[in-house]
Amino acid sequence: MKQKIVLTHWVHPEIIDYLQSVADVVPNMTRDTMSRAELLERAKDADALMVFMPDSIDDDFLASCPKLKIVGAALKGYDNFDVDACTRRGIWFSIVPDLLTIPTAELTIGLLLGLTRHLAEGDRRIRTHGFNGWRPELYGTGLTGRTLGIIGMGAVGRAIAKRLSSFDMRVLYCDDIALNQEQEKAWNARQVSLDELLSSSDFVVPMLPMTPQTLHLLNAETIGTMRTG
């Protein structure tokens, strides 16, 4: 008897075909997120789940799926999944560690460029017919020569630092694990305390997993130590 795999969201037909060669597959053929009740009904006798970012799996959910052996997450961050509960119940939980590292880094840089060069405001003026010729406005500061603080120098933090080295930025980073000397030199990066990072950076990007230790790491008190805009 084949094992049962429940897919919580739409996937490409090729993936369904592959999984059907080894298991009974219950796909979600819509682009909508299933309700918790609907997902529980499908998963109550499942051996495996393939889950995605909109999903949330807690201990109560797992208790209703006594046959479940693995939760395969098609994502990198897993804040909305109770991994400890999976461990206690002997259920494997897997992620895709390097998923979206480069896109996240590029989007972060895009936001920094948009902020420092007023791209959104310029676009708004064009679309609302508010552009009346050149004016000495919306110059912004740009990124070159500025200081970026990265809190958490994991895969995404490193990808950001590597790409922003082309902008001749200075990088301060706060992480328990230091970069090697070659990386620090190539990316003009220096490991500092959180206090120094916040007080010395022009821009701060937190690149951290959501854990009890990182929750509210940036709060009214720590934000109050940052440079004024």
Domain boundaries, given as residue ranges, for the chain: 3-94, 101-223
With the C-alpha atoms ordered 136, 138, 142, 147, is the resulting torsion angle positive or negative?
A: positive
- Say what the pLDDT of residue 1 is: 80
Sheet holding 147-151, edge to edge: 189-191, 170-174, 147-151, 203-206
3-94: CATH number: 3.40.50.720
Closest CA to 222 of 201, 194, 202: 194
Report pTM.
0.83
* CA 27-28-30 angle, 5° bins: 145
Task: Say which CATH superfamily domain 101-223 falls into.
Answer: NAD(P)-binding Rossmann-like Domain (3.40.50.720)
Are 102 and 76 in contact, with CB atoms under 8 Å apart?
no
- Say what the pLDDT of residue 133 is: 82
- Say what the pLDDT of residue 136 is: 84
pLDDT < 70: residue spans in the chain: none
Extract the runs of DSSP E, i.e. beta strands, from 8-54.
23-26, 48-51
Closest CA to 225 of 203, 197, 205, 190: 197
Residues 76, 94: Cα–Cα separation, whole Å: 9
Domains 3-94 and 101-223 share a fold: yes
- Say what the pLDDT of residue 137 is: 86
Q: How far is CA 12 from CA 15, 19, 30, in A?
A: 6, 11, 12
Q: Which residues partner with 150 through β-bridges?
A: 173, 205
Other beta carbons within 10 angstroms of residue 136's beta carbon come to 5
